[in-house]
Structure 1
Amino acid sequence: MFALFVRGKKIDLHRTWCAHTSALGTTLCVTEVLKRYVGRLRPNTYEYCGFSLELLRCTDTDDDWAKSFPTGQRNWAKSFPSGHASVSFCGCVLLVWYLRSSANVKYQHTFVWRIWALISLSPLALAIMIAASRVADYYHFVGDVVAGSIIGACNALIFSRIHFPSQNLITPPETNQEEEEALDPFVAL
């Protein structure tokens, strides 16, 4: 829907939807496969299992501590990579890419275009805050968040290039109106 407001073309809505769903879906799959394969304990796992420094083991022998873990049973061994970081960076990098590419080329050397280029980077602040909150709340180590951020950002860039191959982050090319209408599946409607 955001694509219609920025550019006003239905083909952009379709391409944007495809880029977001494929990038987010791939990010979620890669993240979940790595979480299950690596099985790294979360930083706050020992707090919930009643870890004893004298015995060097968890003192809560029954499995109730795993069930009392805030995110549910068995999530205590899914620290690497951070799912929140990967999804937030994927979505925000796609949004930044889309905002940057939606700027009109004819204004590229003006002050307004430079301000728009800076404003379009603002979604990254949200992704960074989400990733940092996972470390601050002791749900992930810094490496988990960095890995998740890289996975999300890479998937966003890969799928944005697949679905918008002719566009560039720095200077988006001018579009040919007739070519866009020929590719638009909604023109016949």
Structure 2
Amino acid sequence: MDDPLRLEVMVASTRPGRFAPVVAEWFLRVAGADARFDIGVIDLADTPLPVDLTETAVVAAYRERVAAADAFVAITSEYNHGYPASLKTALDTAKREWRGKPIGFVSYGGLSGGLRAVEQLRQVVAEIHMVSVRETVSFHEAKRKFDTAGETQDGAAVDAADRLLRQLAWWGRTLRAARAADPYPG
């Protein structure tokens, strides 16, 4: 593709011993095979954003990266029926940089597969003027869904990832063109 969309994949969990890298690496392999995207990774475990939202050199670089992106995917776990605090800090650290851009979700967890976290996140991203794509990839009892090589035979998740990327590409292209023609009124 001549002008791929810049997709930033945000890895939300920062817990020691986290399962996030397994899910993230799988998704990155799937998305990396899609020529519609130029992919970057923002691992919040490696991005020390201050919880008091003060301006730092790391924050400035992070906000520039968010501003340059066309689309996002948040890979999130579910903790206590919600999403990680690190992801809320990441969303709150930028403001105008999010506006008029699509976001998709890949969630994982126990029986709910992280879907309660995603439903809460949809409310948050709407407030910061993002477009949440409808399709979500969800891994219920995630640790049972991946083999030792980090692959999954979860057909529903594989199918959902394909649909999520198609929807994200459509929204990404459409909103990038709209922002270029008429900047988002925020």
Taking structure 1 as the reference length, the TM-score comes to: 0.30
**Structure number with larger C-alpha Rg:** 1
Q: Does 1 or 2 have the higher relative contact order (CA < 8 Å, sep 6+)?
A: 1
Greater fraction of residues in strand: 2
Greater fraction of residues in helix: 1
